[in-house]
Every structure is written in C-alpha cells, then in structure tokens.
Amino acid sequence: MHDSILSLCPGPWKGYELIDTGGFEKLERFGNYILSRPEPQAIWDKSLPESEWRKMAHAHFAKEKNNPEKGQWQKLKTMPQQWQISYENEEGLKMKLNLAQTSFKHIGLFPEQAVNWDYLYSKLKSFPQGTPKVLNLFGYTGAASVAARAAGAEVSHLDAVKQVVTWTKHNMESSDLNGIRWIVDDAMKFIKREARRGNIYQAIVLDPPAYGRGPEGEKWELEEQINEMLKTCKEILDPKNHLLLLNMYSLSFSSLIAANLIQSTFGKVAHASHGELFLQESQGKKLPLGIFYRFSSF
C-alpha cells in the first residue's frame, strides 16, 4: 500500500492566530495576548512594518547573544505571566491548555500540532477492540496526551523534565480529565525496559527534539538515536491493533527520511501518510514547522 505525502495545517482556531512572519521572527496571538518571538525558518521579510509588530505585541522574546535558544521576555503591554486558551474540534475534542512565558522562548504549546491532536483523538475513538494503551514519549506539556485521554485511551506520558510533566497534569485537570500515568525518565532507557518486561502498547507517539538530556544527563541526538528508538518501539507496539505517530522538528530532516526510517524498521504499513506540518499566517505566507509520519492498522 502506497502512503500519501501531505502538507497539513490546523483549521480555524478561535484561540490562536499566526499574524505575520519574517526576519527570523513570528507574531502570534494566543487567546487575548500577542507575542513576538524568534523563528529560524522565517528567513523572508515581514509583511507588516516593524512599528505594527511593536504596536500589536504584548511581549517580545529577546535572545541571548551567545545562546539563541535562551533569552528573556520583554513586556510591552500588561499581560499575565500565565494564562489559558481553549481548543476544540468538530469531532468533540475539547481541551483547556495552560500557557506561560519561559526562558526558552516556548510557552507550553506548539499550535501546528493541532493536526496531530485531531488525528489521535479521531483514531483512538474508533479503536477496534478494547481500550488502547498509549505511550507518549518526549511528551512535553502533553496536549497529545490529553487528546488521547479525552478519546478514552489509557495514557502513559513520559518526559525527562519533572516541571513539564507537572504542566501536563495541569492541562489534564483544566480539561476536566484524570487518570494519565506520569513518567519522568529517559525515553530510550524506559522503552528498552518496557521491551525487556514484554509490555505492549497499541499506540506510540514520538516527538523527539534534535538534542536533549535525560533526567540523569543522558544524551539524546536525533540523527544518531532515532533509528534505534524506532526499532525498540517496534518491540513494544501491538502487531495486530496499532498506531504510531512520529513528529520531528529538525532543519536538516525531510519527511522522506522519516518514511525511510519507518519502512526499514516496520516494513509495509497500512493507512500511512507523511509530510510537512505548517501554519498559515494571516498575511498569506506558510510557515513550515516540522515533519510527520503516521500509520495505523485501523
């Protein structure tokens, strides 16, 4: 069965808007607040003048010279340190997600991932047999975990950072859900232990960073370790009823790399698609934000 190559963008979302991009920055509205922050993919010019960005933004993230990933938020208008936005889709998924300004330019949400939340919710709602067990590796603040739990799945959420797992718990509770299993661990160590124990999951979600550290300083490099990780995932993925969703954000990766990885590990898979995730800005440009590969037996 041939898989299809897609470019996926979230549909209209009251709580979020990508207003403009360019000059290695993006201007976004999250709920009632507009933020300006770095975006390495936005190598083109801004559509709106700089003065308009400054006039609209409640806060701007200023990078440190020596570390482009770190910096601090400069408040331009009154806004809270923490706030919430709602997400819902036509199939009945409803989530309330908690946002906050962090020193790493992130705010606890990647809006382009909404297409993956929708996919997980829809697929898991139609799971053919029993209650699916879902493992979300590199789970971050866990919107995917909350979406899977909202679909009725039994969810295990793993991240190496305890504060981020606590953030996910707040998202679960704000969305009027409970029962997610929390794991603070190194992703590779955990799945190797699960394989030795013979534990099986019906769905695995992976959204690995390009680089990272485990709780005890374990080193993660996407290019060097993703192949081994997928092989271990195969050992713990139910061979009969299964779903796998791989998402990667690396400037050097194309979705064909993900397709080759999946094919060499899993062989022929059903209901497969891969491609690029992007956000459509109000000025007309499309901002690419990572690649995905997904397949399922149902």
DSSP 182-249: EEES-HHHHHHHHHHHT--BSEEEE---SEEE-TT--EEEHHHHHHHHHHHHHHHB-SSS-EEEEEE-
With respect to residue 83, please indicate whether it lies within any of the assigned structural domains. Answer: no
pLDDT at 111: 97
With respect to residue 28, please indicate whether it lies within any of the assigned structural domains. Answer: no
Residue with tokens 């955990």: 190
Q: What is the pLDDT of residues 163-210, one digit of tens each?
A: 999 999 999 999 999 999 999 999 999 999 999 999 999 999 999 998
Helix, strand, coil distribution of the chain in percent, nearest 5: 25, 35, 40
Mean pLDDT within 44-56:
98
CATH code for position 229: 3.40.50.150
Q: How confident is the model at residue 2 (pLDDT cuts 50, 70, 90)?
A: low
Ranking 94-98, 146-150, 193-197, 218-222 by mean pLDDT, the lowest is 218-222
Sign of the C-alpha dihedral computed for residues 71, 75, 76 and 82 taken in this order:
positive
What pTM does this model have?
0.95
Mean pLDDT within 290-297:
96
With respect to residue 20, please indicate whether it lies within any of the assigned structural domains. Answer: no
Q: How confident is the model at residue 1 (pLDDT cuts 50, 70, 90)?
A: very low
With respect to residue 87, please indicate whether it lies within any of the assigned structural domains. Answer: no
Mean pLDDT within 111-140:
97
pLDDT at 65: 80
Mean pLDDT within 53-76:
90
Q: What percent of the chain has pLDDT over 90?
A: 90
pLDDT at 3: 67
pLDDT at 103: 86
With respect to residue 33, please indicate whether it lies within any of the assigned structural domains. Answer: no
Mention every residue, 6+ apart, whose C-beta is less than 8 A from residue 41. Answer: 251, 287, 288, 289
With respect to residue 291, please indicate whether it lies within any of the assigned structural domains. Answer: yes
* 123 has a pLDDT exceeding 50: yes
d(CA 288, CA 72): 25
Token pair recorded at residue 36 = 């300006």
Mean pLDDT within 253-271:
95
Number of domains comprising the chain: 1
Quote the domain boundaries for residue 249: 4-9+108-296
